[in-house]
């Protein structure tokens, strides 16, 4: 059985009610809960949480699925705080040991001290920016993708703790031209293609931890 840990980072703040990411996170939980091959745990960063319990969820999971909006080209501050608090609690306690370097060669092997080798993660993000802002010449993001641009540090963070990236999905133009029905259909297809084709869950559940 493959263990899925779903984190809803859609913070409720200011004019944002977190509704889109709540919908996506619920869709993810319902998708896996309907299948006997998967076991699911969830966290909503707006709720009170015990850092030690969150560390235990990371250690338990085969796959961590993050759902986050992007605010000012970064994670919402509540989600960033969650990561700071939980990863600190996970130091030498299941998430990472150190930065991986040794005193005799401090210039090498940075980022190899993670404790979650064999686990995978996936991220979805939601944007006011249209997709074309990332792909067209002379547009705002200068033809730099979400994953190689704003989320580059997020991906390296997960690599630091030992996790391997799975292909995620990014939702664009959510505020001005949202098409939630279409996005949900595309996301359902993404989940099916990613987790169900070629019995990928068997490979995930056989990972060592």
CATH number at residue 27: 3.40.50.360
Q: Give dist(CA 65, CA 4) in Å, integer.
A: 7
pLDDT in tens, 1-57: 999 999 999 998 777 777 899 999 999 999 999 999 999 999 999 999 999 999 999
Domain with 111 in it: 2-205
- pTM of the predicted protein model: 0.93
Q: Give dist(CA 207, CA 169) in Å, integer.
A: 24
pLDDT in tens, 56-100: 999 999 999 999 999 999 999 999 999 999 999 999 999 999 999
Upper half-sphere CA count for residue 207 (Cβ side, 13 Å): 22
Q: Give dist(CA 30, CA 33) in Å, integer.
A: 5
Question: What total of structural domains would you count in the chain?
Answer: 1
| Contact (CB, 8 A) for 41 and 4 | yes
pLDDT in tens, 137-190: 999 999 999 999 999 999 999 999 999 999 999 999 998 888 999 999 999 999
Residue 137 main-chain phi, psi, to 5 deg: -60, 145
Q: Give dist(CA 19, CA 28) in Å, integer.
A: 14
| Contact (CB, 8 A) for 62 and 195 | no
If we measure between CA atoms, which residue out of 91, 90, 67 comes closest to residue 79? Answer: 67
- pLDDT for the residue numbered 209: 57
If we measure between CA atoms, which residue out of 48, 28, 49, 52 comes closest to residue 40? Answer: 28
Ramachandran region, residue 142 (left: φ > 0; alpha: ψ -120 to 50; beta: rest): left
- CA distances 191 to 22, 33, 124, Å, are 17, 13, 11
Q: Give dist(CA 33, CA 14) in Å, integer.
A: 32
- In this structure, what token pair is assigned to residue 7? 């984190």
Cα angle 108, 112, 114; round to 5? 160
Residue 130 main-chain phi, psi, to 5 deg: -75, 160
């Amino acid at each position: 059985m493959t263990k899925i840990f779903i984190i809803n980072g859609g913070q409720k703040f200011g004019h944002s009610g977190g509704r889109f990411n709540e919908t996506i996170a619920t869709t993810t939980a319902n998708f896996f809960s309907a299948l006997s091959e998967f076991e699911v745990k969830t966290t909503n960063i707006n709720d009170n949480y015990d850092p030690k319990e969150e560390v235990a969820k990371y250690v338990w999971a085969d796959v961590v699925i993050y759902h986050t909006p992007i605010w000012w080209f970064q994670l919402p501050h509540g989600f960033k705080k969650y990561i700071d608090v939980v990863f600190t609690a996970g130091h030498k306690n299941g998430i990472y040991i150190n930065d991986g370097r040794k005193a005799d060669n401090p210039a090498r092997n940075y980022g190899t001290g993670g404790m979650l080798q064999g686990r995978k993660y996936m991220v979805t993000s939601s944007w006011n920016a249209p997709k074309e802002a990332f792909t067209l010449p002379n547009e705002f993001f200068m033809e730099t993708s979400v994953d190689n641009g704003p989320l580059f540090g997020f991906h390296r963070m997960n690599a630091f703790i030992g996790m391997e990236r799975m292909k995620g999905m990014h939702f664009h133009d959510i505020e001005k031209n949202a098409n939630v029905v279409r996005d949900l259909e595309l996301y359902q297809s993404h989940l099916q293609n990613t987790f169900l084709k070629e019995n990928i869950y068997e490979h995930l559940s056989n990972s060592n931890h």
